[in-house]
């Protein structure tokens, strides 16, 4: 019976849907936003929209989605089989290796040869992992999150460029007007804690967007953002923004992106903190009294079901992160 149910689960996913297993609800906390706009705030929104109109993939929907998600929206851990091949892994590895060359050069210049060689060694190991894969298509099962009532699904972790090695735990989802372009603009220009453009290596997530008229698949990050403004390689709070730019057509999350904030050590050989970094992202979107900024709707905590230690520093992630709605 167990084997039969497992087979039925796999077929249900591969032939046209995502099968949910082990339903579980994360806990949440809602914050009431301050929504009155001053002329200066309205002007800032207009400035932001004008700047982002020049960026491909930017969305300027007027206001929040019709039926937005909130603290009561279910968040469920799932296991989803996907089709994966050595050829796809090689494509991802080649793209990631190419995109990471500037980062390697900056590390070598600012920190030294050892820091740069550590990144090269990581990619070499990823390449060996790929070469060890069998030829042809194979089935892999990815731990994922399904959020909402038939809305969005994404991996619980980021992956290295081999598409196999788990890297970071996902801990933040932006939604509403939460495209990576929109979020990055606010974080670089108007949040309480400002973030600048950072350096970093490629990581990948997988999202299931065929249900929204898009495709299911992998994507590298759109942005590297960091709190510190020193040379690449210094200790810093860092986050990647991932976005495949498919709108949630069920109108719960609308335009959305995800992130994995963390603190990197000197030379970026590992992340040595997760929890403080996640809190800094939250604190960026509220004022000193804890009230959401004028372009922010609801912030609430969610269980991402990915608690554990990650990386050679052994830093612990408790699995609890933030969903943050952006309304302008």
Strands 196-197 and 204-208: unpaired
Cα torsion angle, 303, 306, 310, 314, sign: positive
Residue 307 structural domain:
2-326
Cα torsion angle, 206, 211, 215, 216, sign: positive
Dist. CA 96–CA 104, nearest whole Å: 12
- CB–CB of 256/173 below 8 Å? yes
Q: How many domains does the chain have?
A: 1
Give the pLDDT confidence score for residue 22 in this predicted structure: 37
What 3-state DSSP class applies to 307?
coil
Length of the chain equals 328
Provide the 10 A C-beta neighbour count for residue 42. 12
Low-confidence ranges of the chain (pLDDT < 70): 1-35, 54-67
Dihedral angle of Cα 276, 279, 281, 287, to the nearest 10 degrees? -130
Any residues with CB less than 8 A from the CB of 20 and at least 6 apart, and which? Answer: 76, 78, 146
Give the pLDDT confidence score for residue 67 in this predicted structure: 63
Dist. CA 222–CA 57, nearest whole Å: 11
Dist. CA 193–CA 286, nearest whole Å: 9
- CB–CB of 108/232 below 8 Å? no
Q: Kind and range of the H or E element at 224?
A: strand 223-226
Dist. CA 98–CA 101, nearest whole Å: 6
Provide the 10 A C-beta neighbour count for residue 242. 25
Q: Kind and range of the H or E element at 40?
A: helix 39-52
| Per-residue pLDDT reduced to its tens digit, 191-238 | 999 999 999 999 999 999 999 999 999 999 999 999 977 899 999 999
Strands 166-169 and 254-255: unpaired
How far out from the chain centre does Cα 83 lie? 22
Give the pLDDT confidence score for residue 170 in this predicted structure: 98
The pair of structure tokens assigned to 304 is 């991402």
Dist. CA 305–CA 296, nearest whole Å: 25
Query: Within 13 Å and on the Cβ side, how many CA atoms surround 283?
Result: 12
Give the pLDDT confidence score for residue 72 in this predicted structure: 87
- CB–CB of 160/307 below 8 Å? no
- State phi, psi for 324 to the nearest 5 degrees: -130, 120
Dist. CA 267–CA 118, nearest whole Å: 9
């Amino acid at each position: 019976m167990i084997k039969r149910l497992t087979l039925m689960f796999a077929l249900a996913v591969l032939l046209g849907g995502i099968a949910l297993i082990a339903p579980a609800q994360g806990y949440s906390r809602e914050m009431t936003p301050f929504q009155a706009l001053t002329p200066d705030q309205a002007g800032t929104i207009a400035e932001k929209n004008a700047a982002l109109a020049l960026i491909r993939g930017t969305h300027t929907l007027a206001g929040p989605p019709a039926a937005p998600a909130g603290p009561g929206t279910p968040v469920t851990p799932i296991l989803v089989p996907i089709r994966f091949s050595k050829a796809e892994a090689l494509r991802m590895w080649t793209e990631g290796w190419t995109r990471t060359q500037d980062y390697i050069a900056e590390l070598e210049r600012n920190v030294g040869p050892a820091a740069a060689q550590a990144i090269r060694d990581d990619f070499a190991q990823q390449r060996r992992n790929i070469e060890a894969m069998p030829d042809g298509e194979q089935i892999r099962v990815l731990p994922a999150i399904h959020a909402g009532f038939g809305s969005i699904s994404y991996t619980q972790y980021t992956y290295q460029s081999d598409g196999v090695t788990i890297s970071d735990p996902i801990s933040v989802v932006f939604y509403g007007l939460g495209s990576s372009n929109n979020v990055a603009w606010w974080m670089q220009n108007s949040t309480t804690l400002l973030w600048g453009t950072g350096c970093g290596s490629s990581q990948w997530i997988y999202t299931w967007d065929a249900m929204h008229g898009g495709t299911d698949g992998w994507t590298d990050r759109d942005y590297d953002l960091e709190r510190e403004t020193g040379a690449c390689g210094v200790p810093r709070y860092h986050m990647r923004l991932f976005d495949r730019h498919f709108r949630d057509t069920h109108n719960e999350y609308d335009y959305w992106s995800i992130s994995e904030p963390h603190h990197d050590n000197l030379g970026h050989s590992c992340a040595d903190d997760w929890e403080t970094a996640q809190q800094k992202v939250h604190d960026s979107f509220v004022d000193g009294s804890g009230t959401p900024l004028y372009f922010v709707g609801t912030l609430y905590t969610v269980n991402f079901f990915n608690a554990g230690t990650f990386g050679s520093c052994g830093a612990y992630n408790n699995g609890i992160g933030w969903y943050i709605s952006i309304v302008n």
